[in-house]
Amino acid sequence: MLRLNCPICGPRDETEFSYGGDASVKRPKMDETDPQIWIDYVFYRDNPRGPHLEYWHHVQGCRQWLVVERDTVSHEIASCRLAREVAR
Amino acid sequence: MSRYSAWSVLTQGLRGNKGWRRAWRHPEPKPSYDVIIVGGGGHGLAAAYYLAKEHGVRNVAVVEKGWLGGGNTGRNTTIVRSNYMIEGNTRFYERSVKLWENLSRDLNFNVMFSQRGQFNLCHSTAQMDAARRRGNVMRANGIDAELLDRDEVARRLPYVDTSPNARFPVHGALYQGRAGTARHDAVAWGFARGADRLGVDIIQQCEVVGFLQEGDKIVGVKTTKGAIRAGKVGMAVAGHTGDLAAKAGLRLPIETHLLQAFVSEPLKPLINTVIAFGGAHFYISQSDKGGLVFGGDLDGYNSYAQRGGLPIVQHTAASAKALIPSLSRLKILRHWAGAMDMTMDGSPIIAKMPIEGLYLNGGWCYGGFKATPASGWCFAWTIARDEPHEDNAAFTLSRFAEGRMIDEKGVGPVPWAH
């Protein structure tokens, strides 16, 4: 069981959250016309063995989107921040 | 190496079984090979076997970081089936079942392939319609499929809760009689022995830590036993595809996720088939030792850890009990997890890579075991001839850019949802 330290609700079980995938992926600007950039955005991932930035949605709590830094081997969680503050 | 036969069992038995020899050699790596396959699981060993057998490419090494079949080959629920519907998948998986049907004879090694049939249960009229369509597509492709109604399911599977009061009442099932199970370790060992007899070097405890590159071309691998040169390098490393490909500078449409599997304490014969629950993601069969072998959904987040979390244990146990109420007091003996290379469309990649000299067999999501023989067969073809066989022609890397995804489940580019 992962325990995510939600900045709003405090430490909560992973079962309260929904996974949102790789948070290092940035959507291209909407006027981007190079198809390769869109293909990379939609399909291609770094898939690191080690620290991984990822989105989690606290769907059964405060309903905030979080950006979590978690190790994909040890499952250790280094940080857990509000996505809207990370985006700022 | 001697052939295994009833005669050899008898004569060895009379001599106290002291004459059995090792099933494959343990050679030191040569400085160079025509082909190096990275990954000594079922897929890698099968590729080496078919390279030597079908294409006469015998100067081949299989390099494995641990022991043979210690990855996903030994971590799955051993189900073999070909109930696929999307073009690109249908013929490939049917080739695989056909290879399975003759595999023990071909390898002279008993892989215990048991065609005990598989029920895909349906729990709504919509699921029945989808099953009917899938069954028709399968039959049109020459694959066996039968649509069963609720009464027939209740007659064949009396221990399944088919009452109208079930959480997900059973409406019927799509049944494939040629589906079944096989002994997973034996598949790795059988291919290893077969490949070794044809001259393939199997090098265990030898991890690939990088690639030898000359210009834009891959010309070998760096391992913990030193550098080994090769004309061509094939990767068949399942969940570690992303990590290994990154060492060649290759980024892929793959994420690594966890899938757990479970074995119960041994029971007397109860389940003589394979059952897939349609109400939740759950599938179950019984091993020849009596343990119930079952599994469920992914843990749902990126991980290379090869150990699962408790929420899925609870979810899977709840699914088991909803389907077969008599399992409620059964004890789980063992559970474990494998690292799955989940692609963006849920289908695999068997193709030449954009980097010269590099070939990939990966992205098996959690359907790799059933594919083992056809995967090796098609990968060997692709490496030997530098072009895909028509049965793996759709499993390209470029299909994502070209909009030719093979999304059997129709969920889009969300790897943990396939």
**Cα B53 from Cα B47, distance rounded (Å):** 10
Backbone φ, ψ for residue B161 (5° rounding): -75, 100
Provide the token pair at B354. 């954009």
Q: For residue B23, which of B190, B263, B239, B235 has the smallest C-alpha distance?
A: B190
pTM of the full structure = 0.96
Residue A67: predicted pLDDT: 98
Chain A residues within 8 A of B302 when measuring between CB atoms? 22, 47, 52, 54, 72
CA distance B10 to B1: 17
Write out chain B's pLDDT in tens, 418 residues. Answer: 579 999 999 999 999 999 999 999 999 999 999 999 999 999 999 999 999 999 999 999 999 999 999 999 999 999 999 999 999 999 999 999 999 999 999 999 999 999 999 999 999 999 999 999 999 999 999 999 999 999 999 999 999 999 999 999 999 999 999 999 999 999 999 999 999 999 999 999 999 999 999 999 999 999 999 999 999 999 999 999 999 999 999 999 999 999 999 999 999 999 999 999 999 999 999 999 999 999 999 999 999 999 999 999 999 999 999 999 999 999 999 999 999 999 999 999 999 999 999 999 999 998 999 999 999 999 999 999 999 999 999 999 999 999 999 999 999 999 999 8
Residue A22 has pLDDT above 80, yes or no: yes
Q: Which residue of chain A comes nearest to B253, CA vs CA?
A: A44
- The partner residues of B60 in beta bridges, in order of sequence, read B35
Biggest distance spanned by C-alpha atoms of chain A = 42
ipTM of the complex: 0.96
* Predicted local distance difference test score (pLDDT) of residue A87: 86
Residue A85 CB-density burial (10 A; 0-12 exposed, 13-18 middle, 19+ buried):
exposed
Question: Does the distance separating the beta carbons of A44 and B401 come in below 8 Å?
Answer: no
Mean pLDDT across chain B = 96
Q: Which residue has the tokens 């695989």?
A: B96
What pLDDT shows up at residue B1? 56
B375 touches chain A (CB under 8 A): no
Each residue's pLDDT tens digit, B137-178:
999 999 999 999 999 999 999 999 999 999 999 999 999 999
Q: Calculate how close chain B gets to A60, using CA atoms only, in Å.
A: 15
Is B253's CB within 8 Å of A45's CB?
yes
Distance from CA of A88 to the nearest CA of B (A): 25
Q: What whole-number distance in Å separates Cα of residue B78 and Cα of residue B314? A: 22
DSSP A15: G
Cα B221 to its chain centre, rounded Å, is 25
pLDDT bin (cut points 50, 70, 90) of residue A88 is confident
Distances from the Cα of B311 to the Cα of A76, B108, B265, B315, angstroms: 17, 42, 21, 6
Q: Where are the alpha helices (DSSP H) in B15-112?
A: 42-55, 90-101, 103-107
Q: Convert the pLDDT of each residue in B5-17 to its tens digit.
A: 999 999 999 999 9
3-state secondary structure of B176: strand
Contacts of B274 (CB under 8 A, 6+ apart): B79, B81, B116, B117, B118, B119, B179, B180, B181, B283, B284, B285
* Amino acid at the residue B271: I
Place of tokens 């009379």: B14
Note which residues in 245-304 of chain B have CB less than 8 A from chain A.
246, 251-256, 300-304
Residue A14 has pLDDT above 80, yes or no: yes
CB pairs under 8 A between A and B: 77
Distance of residue B102 Cα from the nearest chain A Cα, in angstroms: 37
Instruction: Say whether A2 and B301 touch across the interface (CB within 8 A).
Output: yes
Question: What distances in angstroms separate CA A4 from CA A9, A10, A70, A76, A79, one per listed residue?
Answer: 10, 8, 10, 10, 9
Please name the residue ranges forming H helices in B280-367.
310-323
> What is the distance, to the nearest Å, from the Cα of residue B183 to the centroid of all Cα atoms in its chain?
12
The pLDDT of residue A17 is above 70: yes
> Tell me, what amino acid is at A81?
R
Phi, psi of B337 (to 5 degrees): -135, 150
Q: What is the mean pLDDT of residues A49-60?
A: 97
Out of B253, B301, B311, name the one closest to residue A43 (CB).
B253
**What is the residue-averaged pLDDT of chain A?**
96
pLDDT of res. A35: 96
What gap in Å lies between CA B170 and CA B153, rounded to an integer? 8
The per-residue pLDDT for range B54-74, each reduced to its tens digit, is 999 999 999 999 999 999 999
